[in-house]
């Protein structure tokens, strides 16, 4: 995250004064290294990677946390998982493996309050995560 002014929201998340960071990436208001896009999903490289492969998959629709999922959103999440597998395959990860994880709310480690899944790969991933 650059030197934009940031707010800590009541949910404990970080949001720029101009709105949700990930919505702004969807709207191309701030740059990101996009690796996949369709009508419902955007995937881009994490700005602070914690593994050689670290890609974020987000619904283009703003959903703050997994607790805010509504009827019909399961289709978006199904598409998201399929997109993640497609990207993983394209990156040659089949046989090497990957992790797809979502942090939910502050207690789950969520910092950006727009639902997203981390695709992590390229190093040994330990379990349980910290």
Q: Work out how close the CB of 58 gets to ligand 5GP at its nearest, in angstroms, rounded to a whole number.
A: 9
How far does Cα 81 stand from its chain's mean position?
11
Among 23, 43, 77, 88, binds Zn ion (CB under 5 A): 23
58 phi and psi, to 5 degrees? -130, 150
Residue 1 interacting entry, from Zn ion, ligand 5GP, none, C-beta within 5 to 8 Å by type: ligand 5GP
Count CB atoms within 10 A of the CB of residue 5: 7
> Contact 22/87 with Cβ under 8 angstroms?
no
Catalytic-labelled residue, pool 40, 54, 62, 116:
116
* Residue 103, helix vs strand vs coil: coil
Interaction of residue 63 with Zn ion, rule CB under 5 A = no
* Residue 122, helix vs strand vs coil: coil
Give the x-and-dash track for 91-110 against Zn ion (CB under 5 A): --------------------
Residue 116 is a catalytic residue: yes
Residues at the contact surface with Zn ion, assessed by CB under 5 A? 20, 22-23, 62, 114
């Amino acid at each position: 995250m650059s030197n934009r002014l940031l707010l800590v929201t009541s949910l404990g998340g970080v949001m720029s004064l101009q709105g949700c960071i990930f919505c702004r990436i969807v709207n191309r208001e701030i740059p990101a290294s996009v690796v996949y896009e369709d009508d419902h999903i955007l995937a881009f490289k994490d700005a602070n990677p914690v593994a050689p492969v670290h890609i974020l998959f987000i619904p283009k629709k703003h959903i703050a946390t997994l607790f805010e999922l509504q009827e019909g959103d399961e289709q978006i999440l199904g598409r998201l998982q399929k997109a993640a597998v497609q990207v993983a395959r394209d990156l040659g990860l089949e046989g090497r493996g990957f992790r797809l994880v979502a942090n939910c709310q502050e207690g789950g480690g969520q910092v950006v309050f727009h639902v997203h899944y981390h695709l992590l790969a390229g190093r040994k991933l330990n379990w349980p995560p910290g």
